[in-house]
Amino acid sequence: MKKKWWHDKVAYQIYPKSFYDSNGDGIGDIPGIISKLDYLKDLGVDIIWLSPCFCSPLADQGYDISDYYNIDPRFGTIEDIDVLLEEAKKRDMYILMDLVVNHCSDEHEWFEKACEDPMGEYGKFFYIQNGKEDGSEPNNWRSYFGGSAWDKLPGHEEENLYYLHLFHKKQPDLNWEHKEMREEVYKMINWWLDKGLAGFRIDAIINIKKALPVENYSYPADRDDGLVRPQRMLKDAVGIGEFLGEMHERTFKPHDSFAVGEVFDVEKKDLPEFIGDDGYFSSMFDFNETIFGSSDKGWYDAKKITPDDYKRCCFESQAEMDGVGYFSNIIENHDEPRGVSRYIPEGECTPRAKKLLGAMNFLLKGLPFIYQGQEIGMENVVLESIDQVDDISTLDEYQVAKNAGLSDEEALKVVNFFSRDNARTPMQWTDKAQAGFTTGTPWLYVNPNYTEINVAAQEEDPESVLNWYKALISLRKNPEYKETVVYGDTVPVLEDTHNLMAYYRKGENQTILVIGNYQPQAQTVELPCEIEKVLLDNTKGVQNEYSELPAFKDGKLTLEGYQTIAAVVKEA
Ligand code: GLC
């Protein structure tokens, strides 16, 4: 693997709508982000990924873009972005934006022109298609957000004319088979990269290749609605490499930019094409833990992940990427519940457990992405009613659960656990009104636990989760350990020990052991190595390096509940 400029960095995802509101309208904005750059710099962040803030009707919170070249007035102006880029540069920080090009908004002028003249040039930018002879949809694909992926083309309801939207009906899919459309996309990417962006996070990109012709690809239904999830079709959509390779050559490569793909379901054999030295992307998110236990039937049927599953998922991905490329590691993002509420068993979500989870994930090989609020241990919200939900995906899953026979209460509990809103509640800055996020009324409710969990309080507390994250970051950046933390091989240790997650990071002349007792009870283990120097210990505050070694007796190490240690070892 060739070394790249971004390998040793730390990345942070901002969900602009919920990060910091500078003008009191209840919606986070770019000036708000600029005002928090010093906070992020102080945390140790180098790369910032902004979820979309382009012009958008916000049907899917900005993942439905109506103008790729402009900023939605609710988030600020294009001049604000120029200032953000400048201010970031001053601080040696890099900005990534979200590249949403599987689809645009139905309010984008391309789609509006397509509706005016479906057989004209812009009609070809989309999948506009006759329905079946009986007037029904061209096939039985389900949209990711529920219901058919086909809707009647606006303005042509009397005709048998449909357009495809794998996501919401306000997100028509762009037709990547059409060269002129691809050219428009590359032009736009280059425009942003020339402006000074360091790169992109690439949204839903695996969907750009469809199984064609669409009328040949109906499948047996996977639910009672007679439809089939889009992932089924993707298995038959061969040849995505052509588009991804072209995009890479024409945009990211000449700019030496960073591109991280939101990609699910890539087979190991295809990984070198995706993230090898000259891959389509610089990196891809590791979603192995995220998708663990998911079910075709819906959230209500998902299996909960245990600490042992979590460990296995992490190790599987580490092995997969070994020698091929460099994954991006996450605990959560804007599409997922809060990681601490998901990966720490119910009732055990203490600051110490949060630190264990943070260390386990952060010290794996790969580029760590912190999602806003993760660094202070923000948790899921407890919903009282489905009326509180904003997220379209959660509303759909609630119906799916109810159709499967769950009561209102049971369905609410299920969707509460997985809801994307959990990650989207406003960032908790202080213990003042609205968690210091806005002086107005926030667009989404604040988690009531902000009085306890907030940045201001944690900055003051040397033992806080926030200061633990700072310590993890400074370990990654410490010249003495950096090579090992960034490039060392990951080797599982005591892999079969229940509720214990441990691994070596093996560098050239150094081995670091990361070990965590993933349960509330103490646990005694026989280590296959000798500890030389403890670098981090979540039972002892958060400063780096301890002279004191952990409790050994008869060659055995006893770890307290949720105790986590990172240490340099002499190997056995
Ligand atoms: C990605 C985004 C998600 C969005 C979807 C459609 O999965 O992360 O938030 O709803 O794509 O753009």
Tell me: the pLDDT tens digits for 35-53?
999 999 999 999 999 999 9
Mean pLDDT of all residues in the chain?
96
pLDDT of 554 above 80: no
The residue among 66, 30, 21 whose CA lies nearest residue 48 is 30
Distance CA 185, CA 494 (A): 48
pLDDT at position 265: 84
- Extract the tokens encoding 315: 């190790």
Average pLDDT of the residues in 520-525: 97
Query: Which atom, in ligand 1's list, is nearest to the CA of 392?
Result: 10
pLDDT at position 551: 66
Ligand 1 centre from 58 Cα, in Å? 12
Q: pLDDT band at residue 394, thresholds of 50, 70 and 90?
A: very high
Average pLDDT of the residues in 74-85: 98
Contact by Cβ (8 Å): 380, 417: yes
Candidates 51, 63, 66, 395: which one to mutate for ligand 1, based on the most atoms within 8 Å of Cβ? 63
pLDDT at position 329: 98
pLDDT in tens, 330-351: 999 999 999 999 999 999 999 9
Average pLDDT of the residues in 433-460: 98
Whether 116 is a known active-site residue: answer no
pLDDT at position 540: 85
Is the beta carbon of 60 within 6 A of some atom in ligand 1?
yes
How buried is 3 (Cβ within 10 angstroms: 0-12 exposed, 13-18 middle, 19+ buried)? exposed
* Degrees to nearest 5, angle at CA 35 with 30 and 37: 95
What share of the chain has pLDDT > 90, as a percent?
95
List, edge to edge, every strand of the sheet that includes 161-164.
128-130, 161-164, 150-152
Q: Write down the catalytic residue from 46, 80, 173, 262.
A: 262
pLDDT of 552 above 80: no
Please report the sign of the dihedral spanned by the C-alpha atoms of residue 163, residue 166, residue 167, residue 173: negative
Whether 134 is a known active-site residue: answer no
Ligand 1 centre from 63 Cα, in Å? 6
Q: Which residues contact residue 461 at a Cβ distance below 8 angstroms, ignoring those fewer than 6 apart?
A: 467
Query: Which atom, in ligand 1's list, is nearest to the CA of 335?
Result: 9
Is the beta carbon of 167 within 6 A of some atom in ligand 1?
yes
> Which amino acid is located at 455 in the chain?
V
Average pLDDT of the residues in 371-394: 97
Candidates 17, 60, 68, 145: which one to mutate for ligand 1, based on the most atoms within 8 Å of Cβ? 60
